[in-house]
């Protein structure tokens, strides 16, 4: 493993701070007090006036966000969020007006970017996506996942040397946050609950990173129905610490390999002291096959590259629903061809360490590694693994295919080979 130097770098994320003694222009945003009035123009005006060396205050009130927000180019700004930002339920508007994220043809309701930005919600500041309306609506559509225009709640685009802390994210419209072209920044003390009041929904990820580096996530709590946390294309030096995940899919690497002939990487990922309750996996990797069928977000394949140097340490599970550690190199949508193509991915997965994983599971598999025959998984090391059923029986199965150089464990049988977006069959 080549983790040590990279992890020191990831853990030493120390975003800059503004001069506390400098006199700052302060912009206090006045809430309209009614959902008939869009507070987005007032928010945009405040950020325009205080976008450099300023302070922006959201008072302990509800702000009705009825239109898209695009805020970028901030420099040395404090953002104090004491109230709630509540997004409108005009689904038709958002499908047509949401902003491009810049990856997978995804879109977002809010873009925020800048350098040396310090956002503090003090544990009470809340982003509420009004997701119940989206969850009910999406269940009636033929495409219940990556529906065009269904927005992420917020996208941090080009956020550098910054800190985001003490925020609550409730019922996000789709993914809670996407993080792109962002570097040397911290997200800590974050609470996410995308549990619907009336129905549940897929694709309610906690956080997704891509084209970003040197990011630290600490003390997250996520209740959701999809990836609890995900690192996608060109995520480098990502550290996740001291977090709790409930009911989702666990920590995900990918999906990746979706863009034909594009070379992408995921490197130097660390997660430590993580608790999983009723999640599908603790840790899983998902890549597309080498067959291109359709286009992102619901199609693709044929990508190149690798994911390497990933350390999962001190993981605790309760009631795991699937294989605790899973690799599936057979992600395929849009009627992709059959099972026979599940081992042709050119994207390689290598250098994974799981050091300490204990708790209970409902599944018969500790490990389910369905790797590519073209680019086999290599150097998979397991130590201090102690998974049991609730009756105390040790879980026996370590299933694998096309895995080379495994350390500290032996494969007990062949893995199931089948297309899946969530790992395994």
Active site residue 226: yes
> Of 39, 205, 226, 351, which residue is the catalytic one?
226
Quick one: three-class SS letters along the chain? CCHHHHHHHHHCCCCCCCCCCCCCEEEEECCCCCCCCCCHHHHHHHHHHCCECEEEEECCCEEEECCCEEEEEEEEEEEEECCEEEECCCHHHHHHHCEECCCCCCEECEEEEEEEEEEEEEEEEEEECCHHHHHHHHCCCCCCCCCCCCEECEEEEEEECCEEEEEEEECCCCCCEEEECCEEEEEEEEEEECCCCCCCCCCCCCEEEECEEEEEEEEEEEECCCCCEEECCCEEEEEEEEEEEECCCCEEEEEECCCCCCEEEEEEEEEEEEEEECCCCCEEEEEECCCCECCCCCCECCCEEEEEEEEEEEEEEEEECCCCEEEEEEECCCCCCCHHHCCCCEEEEEEEEEEEEEEEECCCEEEEEECCCCCCEEEEEEEEEEEECCCCCECCEEEEECEECCECCCCCEECCCCCCCCCCC
The residues that are catalytic are 226
């Amino acid at each position: 493993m080549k983790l040590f130097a990279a992890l020191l770098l990831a853990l030493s994320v120390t975003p800059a701070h503004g001069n506390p003694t400098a006199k700052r222009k302060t912009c206090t945003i006045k809430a309209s007090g009614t959902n008939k009035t869009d507070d987005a123009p007032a928010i945009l005006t405040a950020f325009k006036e205080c976008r450099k060396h300023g302070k922006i205050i959201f008072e302990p009130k509800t702000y009705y966000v009825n239109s898209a927000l695009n805020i970028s180019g901030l420099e040395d700004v404090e953002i104090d969020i004491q109230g709630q930002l509540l997004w409108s339920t005009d689904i038709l508007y958002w499908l047509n007006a949401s902003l491009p994220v810049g990856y997978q043809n995804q879109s977002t309701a809010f873009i925020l970017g800048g350098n040396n930005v310090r956002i503090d919600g003090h544990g009470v500041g809340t982003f509420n996506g009004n997701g119940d309306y989206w969850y009910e609506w999406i269940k009636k559509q033929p495409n219940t996942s990556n529906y065009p225009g269904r927005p992420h709640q917020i996208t941090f685009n080009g956020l550098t040397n910054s800190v985001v802390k003490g925020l609550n994210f409730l019922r996000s419209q789709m993914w809670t946050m996407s993080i792109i072209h962002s570097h040397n920044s911290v997200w800590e003390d974050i609470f996410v609950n995308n549990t619907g009041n009336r129905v549940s929904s897929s694709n309610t990820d906690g956080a997704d990173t891509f084209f970003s580096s040197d990011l630290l996530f600490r003390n997250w709590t996520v209740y959701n129905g999809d990836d609890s946390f995900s690192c996608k294309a060109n995520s480098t030096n990502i550290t996740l610490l001291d977090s709790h995940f409930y009911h989702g899919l666990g920590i995900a690497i990918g999906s990746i390999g979706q863009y034909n002939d594009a070379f992408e990487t995921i490197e130097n990922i660390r997660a430590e002291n993580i608790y999983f309750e009723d999640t599908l996996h603790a840790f899983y990797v998902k890549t597309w096959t080498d067959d291109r069928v359709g286009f992102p977000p619901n199609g693709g394949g044929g990508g190149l590259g690798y994911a390497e140097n990933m350390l999962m340490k001190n993981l605790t599970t309760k009631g795991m629903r699937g294989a605790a550690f899973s690799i599936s190199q057979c992600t395929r949508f849009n009627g992709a061809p059959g099972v026979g193509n599940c081992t042709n991915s050119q994207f390689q997965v290598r250098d994974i360490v799981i050091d300490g994983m204990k708790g209970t599971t409902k599944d018969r598999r500790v490990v389910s590694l369905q790797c590519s025959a073209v680019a086999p998984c290599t150097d998979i090391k397991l130590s201090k693994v102690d998974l049991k059923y609730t009756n105390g029986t040790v879980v026996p199965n370590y299933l694998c295919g096309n895995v080379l150089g495994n350390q500290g464990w032996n494969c007990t049988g062949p893995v199931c080979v089948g297309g899946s977006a969530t790992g395994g069959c």
